[in-house]
Amino acid sequence: MSDLVKWLRQQFNADEQAAPNVHALDCELTMTAGFSGPCTCGWADRLLAEVDADRAILDLYEQTEFGDLSRRTALEDVIRLRALPRADRPGYRPEWRP
Ligand SMILES: [Zn+2]
């Protein structure tokens, strides 16, 4: 599990760096004639907020006592699910699937 947490933190760092450059192609603002960017629709801010929330999940997991098995198991399930959208990236392991 610690390898998955470490890999996910790397993915979140990459997502954070890419957020300002990654954008929905069909955004109402960018489709407007004369648009010159950066877009102010909130897409990048939303991506960054998701990264923050995902990091908080990892923090909760790492702060949970080893003896608190039900909480650890529940957080592990959440972490595996949050990793799934990134399963096509290098380093993802099949055994991490939920
Ligand atoms: Zn936009």
Q: What does the pLDDT look like over 24-56, one tens digit per residue?
A: 767 888 888 888 877 888 888 999 999 999 999
Let me know if residue 48 belongs to a domain.
Answer: yes
Let me know if residue 41 belongs to a domain.
Answer: yes
How many angstroms separate the alpha carbon of residue 46 from the centre of ligand 1? Answer: 11
- What does the pLDDT read at residue 19? 83
- What does the pLDDT read at residue 32? 85
- What does the pLDDT read at residue 21? 77
Let me know if residue 75 belongs to a domain.
Answer: yes
Let me know if residue 28 belongs to a domain.
Answer: no
User: Whole-angstrom Cα distance, residue 4 to residue 8?
Assistant: 6
User: Whole-angstrom Cα distance, residue 42 to residue 19?
Assistant: 11
CA distances from 91 to 8, 11, 30, 38, 86 (A): 10, 10, 33, 32, 10
Give the list of residues 6+ apart from residue 98 with CB closer than 8 angstroms, or none: 77, 80, 81, 84
How many angstroms separate the alpha carbon of residue 42 from the centre of ligand 1? Answer: 6
How many angstroms separate the alpha carbon of residue 24 from the centre of ligand 1? Answer: 7
Tally of domains in the chain: 1
- What does the pLDDT read at residue 39? 82
Let me know if residue 31 belongs to a domain.
Answer: no
3-class DSSP assignment, residue 42: coil
Let me know if residue 29 belongs to a domain.
Answer: no
C-beta separation of 8 from 83 below 8 A: yes
What's the chain's average pLDDT?
Answer: 92
How many angstroms separate the alpha carbon of residue 14 from the centre of ligand 1? Answer: 20
How many angstroms separate the alpha carbon of residue 68 from the centre of ligand 1? Answer: 42
Let me know if residue 47 belongs to a domain.
Answer: yes
Its domain, for residue 7, covers 2-23+36-96
User: Whole-angstrom Cα distance, residue 86 to residue 29?
Assistant: 27
More confident of the two residues 33 and 5: 5
pTM beyond cutoff 0.75: yes
Q: What does the pLDDT look like over 58-83, one tens digit per residue?
A: 999 999 999 999 999 999 999 999 99
How many angstroms separate the alpha carbon of residue 20 from the centre of ligand 1? Answer: 10
Let me know if residue 65 belongs to a domain.
Answer: yes
More confident of the two residues 19 and 66: 66
